Amino acid sequence: MASADLPAPRTPEGRDGLAALLAHPERAVVALDFDGTLAPIVPDPDQARAHPGAAAALSRLAPHLAAVAVVTGRPAGVAVRYGGFAGVPGLDHLVVLGHYGAERWDARSGEVHTPGAHPGVTAVRAELPGFLDRIGAWSGTWIEDKGGRAVAVHTRRTEDPDAAFEALRRPLHELAESHGLMVEPGRYVLELRPPGVDKGVALAAYLREVDAGSVLYGGDDLGDLAAFAAVEDLRKHGTAGLLVASAGTAESPPEVAERADLTVPGPEGVVALLDALADALE
């Protein structure tokens, strides 16, 4: 049963995706990015927390669905803590795919499975402060240490975050390449991490694992486009999918909203959508 509060996707594929979720929720997966989608963007990544209604909305929705997952660039354990996802009734089967799918936390076990430190990341973590000094990175450029699987360089707190970001692109690509890493660009952040997995690879594998009949994926940033591509590919092969952009601020990458079937205003809009879906299914 549809709810009056459910927004209508603007594409036929999106409308099919929503219809499939509502018709057969027991086969549907809802997968969401963390920063910018479930959690409002803030200047300090350590201060990011899920929207106050996020865990509650997910916990209302999850019992009706095949699965709920969070797919994030964060270490899985960090997303679990900042999301307040552990021990929430209804979220006892939640899965968090962290580090773009390299790590996995399962609510069932409470454990994180990680491939462990990557030697290239270990080397870059040591080299990066001196490297940024040498290339004259803008004042306010800041290194986020994400453990052994990635290191992120942020420009949000510089005087000109766009210029500081552009100035870093090439040198960081060269540094990453010299250590067998890749650069994942995001909102005023360039992340150096091992290649081989992305949100699309991780999402597609998870959907196969749970034998999903349909999927809703929501994201806000460039790293989410790989997951969008995975859903677009599944749609070509008969699995219905709804792509949701969490957008609406000047810094939201336009590519995300352009590719989405439905755009909602940031984490507030995402939580309202989850609640509307739960209303429709209850």
The answer to whether residue 249 forms part of the interface with ligand L263DTV3 (CB under 6 A) is no
Q: Does 33 qualify as catalytic in the annotation?
A: yes
Instruction: Find where tokens 């994926």 sit.
Output: 217
Cα–Cα distance measured from residue 72 to residue 96, given in angstroms and rounded to the nearest whole number: 8
Q: Under rule CB under 6 A, how many of the chain's residues touch ligand L263DTV3?
A: 24
Q: Which of 20, 21, 31, 33 binds ligand L263DTV3 (CB under 6 A)?
A: 33
Of 184 and 280, which has the nearer Cβ to ligand L263DTV3?
184
Closest CB 120 distance from ligand L263DTV3, rounded Å: 17
* 182 phi, psi to nearest 5 deg: -120, 165
Q: Which of 73, 200, 213, 266 binds ligand L263DTV3 (CB under 6 A)?
A: 73
CA 228 to chain centre: 11
Token pair for 84: 């307040």
- Give the footprint of ligand L263DTV3 on residues 122-151 (CB under 6 A): 144, 146
Q: Residue 225: CB partners within 8 Å, gap ≥ 6?
A: 219, 255, 256, 259
Q: Are 246 and 36 in contact (CB under 8 A)?
A: yes
Token pair for 68: 């709920």
The answer to whether residue 187 forms part of the interface with ligand L263DTV3 (CB under 6 A) is yes
The answer to whether residue 154 forms part of the interface with ligand L263DTV3 (CB under 6 A) is yes
The answer to whether residue 252 forms part of the interface with ligand L263DTV3 (CB under 6 A) is no
* Alpha-carbon torsion, ordered 258, 260, 266, 271, to 10 deg: 170
Cα-based distances in Å from 244 to 9, 189, 225, 263: 9, 22, 11, 6
Of 184 and 275, which has the nearer Cβ to ligand L263DTV3?
184
Beta bridge partners of 96: 70, 105
The answer to whether residue 194 forms part of the interface with ligand L263DTV3 (CB under 6 A) is no
Q: Interacting stretch for ligand L263DTV3, rule CB under 6 A, among 1-9, 70-78, 204-212, 234-242?
A: 70-78
Q: Interacting stretch for ligand L263DTV3, rule CB under 6 A, among 37-45, 120-128, 166-174, 256-264?
A: 37-45
Q: Interacting stretch for ligand L263DTV3, rule CB under 6 A, among 50-58, 114-122, 181-189, 269-277?
A: 181-189
Q: Which of 27, 74, 118, 235 binds ligand L263DTV3 (CB under 6 A)?
A: 74
The answer to whether residue 103 forms part of the interface with ligand L263DTV3 (CB under 6 A) is no
Buried/exposed code over 168-185 (b: 16+ C-beta within 10 A; e: otherwise): beebbbebbeebebebbb
Q: Are 25 and 281 in contact (CB under 8 A)?
A: yes
Q: Which of 103, 198, 221, 275 binds ligand L263DTV3 (CB under 6 A)?
A: 221
48: left (phi over 0), alpha (psi -120 to 50) or beta: beta
Q: Are 100 and 111 in contact (CB under 8 A)?
A: no
Q: Which of 45, 101, 120, 253 binds ligand L263DTV3 (CB under 6 A)?
A: 45
Token pair for 119: 């030697």
Tell me the catalytic residues: 33
Binding positions for ligand L263DTV3, rule: CB under 6 A: 33-36, 41-43, 45, 48, 72-74, 144, 146, 152, 154, 156, 186-189, 191, 221, 223
